[in-house]
Amino acid sequence: MTKRCLPLSLAPCYTSAMEHLWAPWRMTFIAPKTPQPQECIFCTQPAAHRDAEYYIVYRGTRCYMMLNLYPYNNGHLMVVPYQHVASIEELNAATLDELMAQAQLALRALRHVMKPDGFNMGINEGKVAGAGFAEHMHFHIVPRWQGDTNFMPVIADTKVMPELLSTVYQKLKEALDTLEHGQTTGEQ
């Protein structure tokens, strides 16, 4: 192994030997799906009524809430209208009202369960804007914590996710069920 020194702001020294971070559970997220889905996942997944399998944590009349399979951070939720439209401009007032009401509910549940310091929220409209499924609009809610960035994404192009999606799903589902039935969660 060759020892090399970096500027003090990065690290005093490192070796040229490659380090490995083993995370075999991530394979389910990166392995190609066979066959590749041809339909809109935001239409087919809620219609299948397999909420736990698809991480659908909440259902309303016009919109539903699900965890992102490829989250920026733990707890990354999406609020999705059942209506298949590419733009928020195509939603009627009642659907827009429910979309925002569910966003508020999501924030309350995430604050209770995960205690974030802030949130990133928004809509990626169009492929050029980063929409993975541009034909069906969806609203992202990403919890953020003070100091939630570290060297892994910068140096190793790797995001470390500290909690399994199934665990986050269960915690948020329970919190949303509690909030929906008007019970207090101890957080105000």
List, by residue number, the catalytic residues: 138
Whether the upstream peptide bond of residue 153 has omega within 30° of 0, thus cis, is no
Closest by CA position to 41, among listed 116, 114, 138: 138
Q: How many residues does the chain have?
A: 188
| Triad 118, 119, 124: Cα angle to 5° | 160
3-state SS of the chain is CCEEECCCCCCCEEECCCCCCCCHHHHHHHCCCCCCCCCCHHHHHHHHCCHHHHCEEEECCCEEEEECCCCCCCCCEEEEECCCCCCHHHCCHHHHHHHHHHHHHHHHHHHHHHCCCEEEEECCCCHHHCCCCCCCCCEEEEEECCCCCCHHHHHCCCCCCCCCHHHHHHHHHHHHHHHHCCCCCCCC
